[in-house]
Every structure is written in C-alpha cells, then in structure tokens.
Amino acid sequence: MSAHFDLILKGGTCLTPGGRQVTDIGVCAGRIAALGDLAGADAAERFDADGLHLLPGVIDSQVHFREPGLEHKEDLASGSAGAALGGVTGFFEMPNTKPGTLSAADLADKLARAAGRVWTDHAFYVGAAAENVDALADLERLPGCAGIKVFMGSSTGSLLVPDDATLARVLAAGFRRIAVHCEDEDRLEARKADIPDGAGSEYHPVWRDEETALAATRRLTALARAAGRRVHVLHVTTDAEMALLADFRDVASVEVTPQHLTFAAPDCYERLGSLAQMNPPIRAARHRDALWRAVRDGLVDVVGSDHAPHTREEKARPYPQCPSGMTGVQTLLPVLLDHVAKERLTLERLVDLTSAGPARLFGLAGKGRIALGNDADFSVVDLKARRRISNDWIASKSGWTPYDGMTVTGWPVATVLRGRFVMREDELQGAPEGRPLRFTECLPPAPDRAA
C-alpha cells in the first residue's frame, strides 16, 4: 500500500466491532484512516503493538474533578492527568462544584478552565435545581454539555431535587438522557438522627440502607415512564434496584462502579475505614454478586468510576462528619482488566461498558469504536502485565487510592488521543490538548445537499 500516515500502530490485537483482529491501524489528522496490513505504508511515527491489545479509548462517564471551589482535593489538570495515566481518553465531569454548574456561564467557565490544561477529551454536566428548571432544555444543548445531572439525595449547595413535583418538571424539560443519583432525601434525613454515638464508617450502609436507594429509584422510574424521558441511574448498588430496573428498560439505563463490583461490607470498612465510604455505600457481598449478575445478563450499560476525591485529613474526621467519596478514574481500567484476568468479565464486555456503551448511550460523535473515520483514541493494554497499585502512582491531589497494595493483572501501557500519545509507560507525553466532546444530538444539522 502506497500511503502516508501520521501514525501506524503495528500488529496489535484490536477490539473492533467485528471482533478481535490482529491488524495495523493507520492514523491521519487524528482519525482512523486504515485498518489492515500497512507494511508498505509510510508513517511519521510507528508504534509496535505486538503482544498488546488496543481498546477503543475508555470513557469515564462519571467523575468529580472539584474545580472550581474545591481545588485542594482535585482540579481539572490533576484529575485528567490521572485519567490519561490510567488509559482513559475522555470523561464526563459532575456539577457539584462551588459554585455548582447551573447556568450557561458556569458551563462556559469550566470549558475555559479546561482549555490547555486537560489531558483528555471532556464534557461537563449541568446540575438540575428548582431555580434553573425552565432553562434546562436550552442548557443541555450547549457545546461541551454532557447532559443534565439530578441529585435526589443531598449534594452541594442547591443541587438537590428531593420532591416528585420538581423532579417531574425536570423530566419534562428537554429530551437528552438525564443522569440521576438515586437516594431518597426524606429517608436519609429521618434516619440520620438514629446514627449511634461512636459509630464509624461501617455504619454507612446501615444509615443509607437499601430502601433509601430503592425508594428513590422506584420514584424516578415511575416518573420517567410517565414523562417518556430517558434516565441514567448512576452507581446502582442493590439487588432490588437491579430487579426493578429490568422492568424499565424502555426509559432507564444502568451504571455500576468498579468499587461496588470489587469491595464488600464489612471487610472493606474493617480494612479501609472511611476510605471505603461513598454514596451510595459499599454493601454486603450478596449485593455485589447481584451487580455481577446484572453485568453478565446485559442489564448494566456503563461502568463509571465516580471518582470523588477528598484529602486524608478530611477523611480522618469522625463519622458521619467525614465526607463520602474515593478516587477512581486512574484505577478504572486496571481494576476491570484484573476482573477480566479472573474471568469475571470478558474483554469484549469491558469495551462495551467503558467505550462503546457510553458512546452509544450518550450519542458521542466519533468515539467508542475502532472504526474508519472515528477519532484515533486507543487505550493500549498489556493483559499479561502484573502490577501493584500504589498511592505513589496516583496523580490525584488527594494522593490515595482504596486499591493501594492490590496486585492486578492487566495494565494500560499507552493512551492515544486523536492519534497522539498522551501517556506511554506511566509517563505523560507532551502538553495537555484535550478538547470538548461532541454529542450527535447537539450537533448542528447537516447541510442540505440539494440546496
């Protein structure tokens, strides 16, 4: 073949829509230009991928990078550096910053902060609140917006939609899929007074019990079906929720997190204390088993990390004053690859949950598949590499991971964004050049060819 490419990735096992293929990939102008034998082609750069697997770029569809207002925990630069180091090429960032992301000006501010500082492609959720319901239909269509996020349980500032009347108004405003944190605020408040003196984080799944999650998910799905609005139920944690959601596939998609697939109570609280504390909580092993069944049965659409860092000092506060949340974007792919090695998950299903699934669910343009014309985003992994996850590898400002000391099989060795290496062998490359993600539902209409 007589052709010239900017980059050729040679001889890797590629996870394509047609299955696994040992093939070359040619990249031009940031896009996949050729798949096949490119031995006779010229290239400005070549990468020998023999023995490695090339996945479509991993997209983490739930992170909290804390900027603006909480930069002592994390910021867009450090959070996205962790993403790139972990093999992630794109992220959706949540709106519970200070101030919250509630307006077009708030979204524009985040996009401006990201320009020239973020290592991966990115989009930002706008939060729903009683004060901005009438603007949501316009806000969700803005460039760089991942959609609307609803907190049914307490979050930052006014980012709370606890009642059905306001939630119904939110569901009636706009048309894109809405991401929802399902915990029932009234039940949380009622049960908070029952937390015993001296309780530790092991009490977290008792306070924020199964019914707290199920009641909110039940309310949401009924309202979504009545409104004909698609919803995305974040970080599902219980067997009862999964049984319910199986009956609402017409309106509801499902996310789980690596930590809920990996940890179980009470062991995680005994080992990690408040470092294992998040909302909704890590629960007993029977719930973890139910999540795995839902993954195998195809009910789960997406795995997101819910990366939500806090400093060690904040985490050391007595319960329940210690904040909930843990790091996760950098460990998302290594932890899931280890589950592949342990035969809990196939590599193809991993791709569906972290690349093709997010792209399909949210209408990402040019992402999620190794296919001609798509962006040349790749998470390059060594399935045989055995590595020990450690705090000193973590780029987050918080400086810790709940997986510290865990040895995993499978590791990201390179991250390629639009044909450019942003990570190789645990080292960031060049300068941050992440761009806003594009969504097909928000792109301008194609030109009228007949005009």
Same domain for 168 and 75: yes
With respect to residue 225, please indicate whether it lies within any of the assigned structural domains.
yes
Please give the Cα distance from 100 to 106 (Å, whole number).
8
Per the annotation, the verdict on 306 as an active-site residue is: yes
Which residues are CB-neighbours of 14 under 8 A, at least 6 positions away?
20, 21, 22, 23, 25, 35, 53, 54, 370
Q: Which domain holds residue 139?
A: 58-362
Same domain for 167 and 106: yes
- Dump pLDDT digits (tens) for 31-74: 999 999 999 999 999 999 999 999 999 999 999 999 999 999 99
Question: Contact 315/323 with Cβ under 8 angstroms?
Answer: yes
- Dump pLDDT digits (tens) for 362-373: 999 999 999 999
Q: Which one of 362, 384, 404 terminates a domain?
A: 362
Same domain for 261 and 126: yes
- Dump pLDDT digits (tens) for 178-222: 999 999 999 999 999 999 999 999 999 999 999 999 999 999 999
CATH number at residue 407: 2.30.40.10
Same domain for 320 and 379: no
Q: In Å, how far from its chain's centre is CA 258?
A: 10
Same domain for 388 and 358: no
Q: What percentage of the chain exceeds 90 in pLDDT?
A: 95
DSSP class of residue 196 equals: P
Same domain for 13 and 81: no
Question: Contact 404/393 with Cβ under 8 angstroms?
Answer: no
Residue 264 burial (CB count, 10 A):
18
- Dump pLDDT digits (tens) for 113-166: 999 999 999 999 999 999 999 999 999 999 999 999 999 997 656 689 999 999
Same domain for 239 and 353: yes
With respect to residue 440, please indicate whether it lies within any of the assigned structural domains.
no
The enclosing H or E element of 218 equals helix 210-227
* Catalytic residue, candidates 209, 306, 352, 377: 306
What average pLDDT is seen over the chain?
96
